[in-house]
Each structure stands twice: as C-alpha cells, then as structure tokens.
Amino acid sequence: SPDHRILMVSSALMGAIFLVLCDTLSRIVIAPTELPVGVITAVCGGPFFLYLMRRKKKIDAS
C-alpha cells in the first residue's frame, strides 16, 4: 500500500496557506469592509475545478 504521509501533510499545509492568503486578500480588496472569504475561494476554485473536469474528459476519451 502506498504511503501518503507526505501528501497528507503537504495538502494540509498548502490548504492552510491558501486560506490565509484568501483571507488577507478578502480584507484588502474592499478596504473599509470585508469581502467574504468564500467569494475569493470560489473565484480561485471554480475555474480550477472546471479545468480538472475538462482534463478528466480528455484523459477518458483517449
């Protein structure tokens, strides 16, 4: 069975860094008020999800 310890730790670390960056960006974009963090993560995650879906279809077709 493959060992996923490094993958789990790096995924948790990268996810935490991503959320801290999104939180910082959501506080900076509209300076007097805060933009919800979910908006920033959706703007980043939506296109990435669509890219993964299109990539999956191309792999399945070949």
Query: pLDDT of the chain along its 62 residues, tens only?
Result: 678 889 999 999 999 999 999 999 999 988 789 899 999 999 999 999 999 888 866 666 65
CA–CA dist 48, 57 (Å, integer) = 14
Instruction: Find the helix or strand (DSSP H, E) in which 60 lies.
Output: helix 37-61
Give the pLDDT of residue 30. 86
Give the pLDDT of residue 2. 79
Both tokens assigned to 39:
């908006």
| Prediction pTM value | 0.74
Q: What is the DSSP letter of 31?
A: T
List the one residue out of 23, 62, 50 whose CA is nearest residue 39: 23
Domain count for the chain: 1
Domain interval for residue 25? 5-61
